Structure 1
């Protein structure tokens, strides 16, 4: 679960919070360009991994599956992947996270179907178990945030979330942001959908953009549909607004 992964990574993120700043990659754009992005498709997959030269074995397994054999049982018996003990289940797959050949086959296949792919690992028989759609995290540059902060009309129905520590918030803050320290994730994560509205535009900020990206990933996994991460965090924003102290 992403929530558990976040808890494990919080300590590491805190130790490296003073990273080199991210630089703004593009000029300020209009609010039209900052509208909600299309959701990403994710697929839940399982596979049976065979040596690349076992085409005949793959065909035999496909025939058994077509005859009603259980995919998880065949995976436990025949797959050389460590996932065999879980019936071949690999979990949810998003684009750009696995072998390109595997992804191409998995994303082209309908839910419930069996497909093949060959990668550097070997020959895969892939079953697509389910699919879901998750919002894309958008990147907001400091100029866009500055425009929003200084235009009350743009702030309507926008949630501003700062995930830094209390001492950081006391040292330097942007008006309007609610403090929700990532280090206290376990305190507020369970009721996040009551503390914040999943349907509203949500802008997330930290010092350099690392912790806020972790928060953004958690929010979209919880069904938030319009999430923006401030590139370079408050450190980068202070270069646009000199009233915000650097630290």
Structure 2
């Protein structure tokens, strides 16, 4: 995946996503490429997401002066592996967290979910995790990022089925909404990025999507 943060405007189409196996994927985001929830605002959850990330191949970073008050440019690349799912997958997870001694409430919520209520709505009302503000959404996660008990339950859960697990933080009701192939990131020089964009055969094989946030488009226009 080629990932640029706050990239300056270039010829249309600007800031792209190329979705093809073994072809770099270009995307732009105003967020770090580590799409988890903001548990850091809740000190007890610092260890919920593992601080150790897999070692990734990388080249040197090239930084540019801030543009319109934005942080420096960081351009990255990733390449998909051959396996579509299996061990090389990421899952999109939402959850609801209760205290360990709230077993009565846990059973009540399980019954309400079985009766058709939505986990995200219940998370907003009952979860003690900061992710409740986003309906319990944790984002895309891969193996090694969550505590072992949560990871075991999440990566073995059927899609869209709500399952429970217990960790040091309490009881979780979690739901896997989607899954996708994991991407490995490495840094790439902007010069190489521009060279690829001049290659007609590279562009022809790419599906081009503008993935900028609305505020980024506005910033580029002004």
Higher helix share: 1
> Which structure's relative contact order is higher, taking Cα pairs within 8 Å and 6+ residues apart?
2
> TM-score of the superposition, structure 2-length normalised?
0.49
Bigger Rg, structure 1 or 2: 1
> TM-score of the superposition, structure 1-length normalised?
0.45
